[in-house]
Amino acid sequence: MGQYFQQGMFPHGYARKETFSMFTGLIEHTGTISSLVSSGSDRLMVIASGMELQGVRLGDSIAINGVCLTVVNLEKSAFAVQISDESRKRTTFAFLQAGALVNLERAMVLGARLDGHLVQGHVDAVGQVDAITPRGRSLEIWFRVSGDTGRYIVAKGSIAVDGVSLTVNQVADEGAFTRFSVNLIPHTQTKTTLSQLVVGRQVNVETDIIGRYVERLLGRRSACPAAGGLDEDKLRSAGFL
């Protein structure tokens, strides 16, 4: 991959699969950003990792800090992904530099056990670490996001922070912002980059997709009742309420 850094070029000839990749939020490995090369508004990012890459092919998807990206070049212990300007604007990739440690997860295989939750790798917002408190061997971490993102976060629901599937413990709506807390057990601290978080650090946040679909369906019902959809009466008649 060195020739691309020397020439300042992006690799060509790989086949981008137009498929919908999903992840679980269970981090397989961490990697280190070995280089970042700009080409116009895009960037080529190379990651060195001990993660098993034997089954990875050009065009496959890998979640890096919770962002679904396409492998455009591949070696035995490193791979390259292309970061668009849109991805940089909406994620913490705007701030990451060479040498940074990142969380890695390959796309899930259909039929495999889903131990985390359904993660798209489509970041909703960049959040910020508000507080970190030791709780025995675990860490309680509070994050802050905008209220627009916070409306999809519920206590005891699932959330992905830098690609890590976590359970929300508490939620506090505070005007334009929403704060939420999670608990990091020792295993999560060891296997991910979250143990390196400090107050003020920015993180990628992806909320559970179910809430967004429900809001969309209910919104369409309100805007156009004749179109049908879900409402309280329909849920009650079906025995859900």
C-alpha–C-alpha distance, residues 142 and 227, integer Å: 41
Residue 178 falls within a domain, yes or no?
yes
Same domain, 99 and 178: no
Same domain, 93 and 27: yes
Residue 227 falls within a domain, yes or no?
no
pLDDT of res. 229:
57
Distances (CA, A) of 45 to 26, 143, 200: 22, 27, 25
Residue 66 falls within a domain, yes or no?
yes
Enclosing domain of residue 208: 125-214
pLDDT of res. 8:
43
- Which of 106, 137, 153 corresponds to the end of one domain? 106
Residue 96 falls within a domain, yes or no?
yes
pLDDT of res. 202:
98
Same domain, 88 and 162: no
Residue 24 falls within a domain, yes or no?
yes
Same domain, 93 and 33: yes
How many domains are contained in the chain?
Answer: 2
Same domain, 28 and 94: yes
CATH code of the domain covering residue 74: 2.40.30.20
Same domain, 58 and 31: yes
Residue 224 falls within a domain, yes or no?
no
Residue 62 falls within a domain, yes or no?
yes
pLDDT of res. 209:
87
Same domain, 102 and 12: yes
pLDDT of res. 16:
45
Q: What is the chain's pLDDT, residue by residue, as a tens digit (241 residues)?
A: 555 444 444 444 444 444 568 899 999 999 999 999 987 888 999 999 999 888 899 999 999 999 999 999 999 899 999 999 999 999 999 999 999 999 999 998 777 767 778 899 999 999 999 999 999 999 999 999 999 999 999 999 999 999 999 999 999 999 999 999 999 999 999 999 999 999 999 999 999 988 888 888 887 665 555 555 556 677 677 776 6
Residue 20 falls within a domain, yes or no?
yes
C-alpha–C-alpha distance, residues 91 and 124, integer Å: 9
